[in-house]
Chains A and B, each alone.
Chain A
Amino acid sequence: MKQIFGRPAGLTDVLQRYCPGCGHGIVHRIIGELLVKLGIRERAVGIAPVGCSVFADEYFNCDMIQPPHGRGPAVSTGIKRSRPDCIVFSYQGDGDLAAIGTAEIIHAASRNENITVIFINNAIFGMTGGQMAPTTLPGMKSTTSVQGRNIKKQGYPIKVCELLAGLDGPYYLVRTSVHDPKNIIKTEKALKNAFGNQIAKNGFSLVEILSMCPTNWGMTPVQSKRWIGDTMMKYFPLGEYRNRAKEEK
């Protein structure tokens, strides 16, 4: 019998420990497939963040490193500059990239470092138990904003694509979502572009992906998919914020 669906060779044969309805598994699968489709698995080096996806170093079937919280772009820079033939990707969450690692992502983008960054925005700190993230929406409840995020006291969410688009450096900035099949396909295209840019030595690419966290949002998986479409996308509009490939055409 012909097998028509299975685990891509870009993922290890390990049971992933993500919660039901979590978006990480979807994005992992897309990356795992692309590592194979693009023929880059054997020259890829991935960076796992600190957060729920810290275990990404067990899940991606390629060389992996797990650096300090937020420092993925700096570690990526060190690897890429030392081994320019490797394909280096940094997988980060919103606490990792938009809070503690703000300096590193801004400067890697500004240097147009030839790396690929996958930024999972689920508007919450997942692993530590649902605390407020820099991307938590105004009014949204978390374990450190139990009344809902009060913008007067806790400020506004950080819109990473818009922020980085203020820099001259980055080559490709795009925001996508994985809350429905149509957007999953768009996410795959964006990630393919982001890896393609690195292969073509074009420079810095970041794909921000709106992703579900039913556990910490206090929702069912179905509710959380709807919430992205109904609420989160309004605050974080999808689309390309920088695409030098198109500008150059």
Chain B
Amino acid sequence: MAEKRLMYGNHAIVEGVLAAGCRFFAGYPITPQNEIPEYMSIRMNEVGGVFIQTESEIAAINMLFGAAAAGKRAMTSSSSPGISLMQEGISYIAGADIPVLVVNVIRGGPGLGNIAPAQSDYYQATRGGGHGDYFTITLAPNSAQELFEFPKLAFELAEKYRNPALILADGLLGQMMEPVEFSYDPVDPTTLPEPSYALSGCQGRDRRVVRSYDLKPGKLEEWNWRRHAKYQHIMEKEQRAQAADCDDAELVIVAYGTSARVSSAAARMAREKGYKVGLLRPITLWPFPKNALAELSNKVEYFLVVEMNLGQMVEDVKLATECKNKIHFHGRPGGGVPTPHEIYEKIETILGGSS
């Protein structure tokens, strides 16, 4: 077994990013993700990478655009208000078909909100977030271990599809400490091939142009249709979800990240009381794991969607199940974190008398 370390979620992200072979970070301080740039500044110095504390999140995302267009793995992290500022850049990056990694350690909103854990940026993450027709590959880890592992997965998916990738964490996952197993050999960045689009000087080859515009009549429409085909392919091939105790379940909780952790405690309590409750945890939020939901919708009567917001993913659950089932929602907005007890009570209300 590989070495295990007790680590903050925010530090696990940093180690995961470095182990993925990324040597470029640009970002701006914002709670609750400050441990990422702080620790990154130390670690990038140790490994000879680039760390830039920027004048704004706008500058940060555009530095990523430059570094990634130059063919390098590049990442930034921020929290909700900062991610909003980055949307212009993410739209351009998506429009130029360039892979980058953006980590959003979500906090309560809207506005300045608070610094408590939240999941209220689900729409923003899964609907593109900025202007234009595009999607970002969105991963939702729920442990320090996954915070370590997902940066590599995110870079691989981003590069495979030439598309920005997001990791959605929250204040709780970032501030929590858990044992992390360094489960794979670190990627040596010098072994990563130069991508076909990389701006590196045109010696011995045709010049390359990275851009997101095309003013020639009909060309941008064609370009968008090609991107549509890519999105369809991703939606078909890259759905990820984890199912627990769903086989005999009468009710399946659908939750990701922190709310999935809390929900698993509630599911355990319900099982102890004899209720047949399972948990489906979406790991990719875009593409949404609709196949797993569609399959469950044929055998499960009730779904309970638990989110730390006013109800965003619940719409995707309704779409995936084609509203065949009785779909309930339990949400805590504004930095509220549900307790296992309140979720259990909701389960009891739904299933009361049926077991």
In the complex, A touching B (Cβ < 8 A)? yes
Which A residues fall within an 8 A CB radius of B?
A: 41-45, 48, 54, 57-58, 61-68, 71, 74-83, 85-87, 103-104, 106-107
Q: Which residue of B56, B58, B201, B210 is within 8 Å of A65 (Cβ)?
A: B210
Given contacts A63-B200, A66-B213, contact A82 B72 (CB under 8 A): yes
| Nearest-CB residue, chain B, relative to A55 | B215
Q: A75 to B62, Cβ gap below 8 A?
A: yes
B320 within 8 A of A: no
Which chain A residues border B204 with CB–CB below 8 Å? 42
B54 within 8 A of A: yes
Q: Which residue of B58, B63, B71, B202 is within 8 Å of A42 (Cβ)?
A: B202
Encoded as 1 (CB less than 8 Å from any A CB) or 0, chain B from 55 to 70 comes to 1101110111111111
The complex places the Cα of A134 from the Cα of B212 at a distance, in Å, of 26
Residue among A62, A67, A83 with most chain B CB within 10 A: A67
Q: A71 to B70, Cβ gap below 8 A?
A: no
Q: B66 to A67, Cβ gap below 8 A?
A: yes
| Nearest-CB residue, chain A, relative to B26 | A78
Which B residues fall within an 8 A CB radius of A?
A: 24, 26, 50, 52, 54-56, 58-60, 62-72, 74, 88-89, 92, 96, 199-204, 207-213
What are 21 pairs between A and B in contact, CB < 8 Å?
A43-B201, A57-B209, A61-B207, A63-B208, A64-B209, A64-B211, A65-B96, A65-B199, A66-B213, A67-B62, A71-B59, A71-B62, A71-B89, A75-B66, A78-B70, A79-B66, A79-B67, A81-B52, A83-B200, A86-B70, A107-B54
Which chain B residues border A75 with CB–CB below 8 Å? 62-63, 65-66, 69
Q: Which residue of A58, A82, A86 is within 8 Å of B201 (Cβ)?
A: A86
The complex places the Cα of A76 from the Cα of B54 at a distance, in Å, of 13
Q: A104 to B210, Cβ gap below 8 A?
A: no
A130 CB to closest chain B CB (Å) equals 20
The complex places the Cα of A57 from the Cα of B92 at a distance, in Å, of 15
Q: Apart from A65-B199, A66-B210, A75-B62, list 13 A-B contacts with CB within 8 A.
A: A57-B209, A62-B201, A63-B209, A64-B208, A71-B89, A77-B63, A77-B66, A78-B67, A78-B70, A103-B55, A103-B56, A103-B58, A104-B55
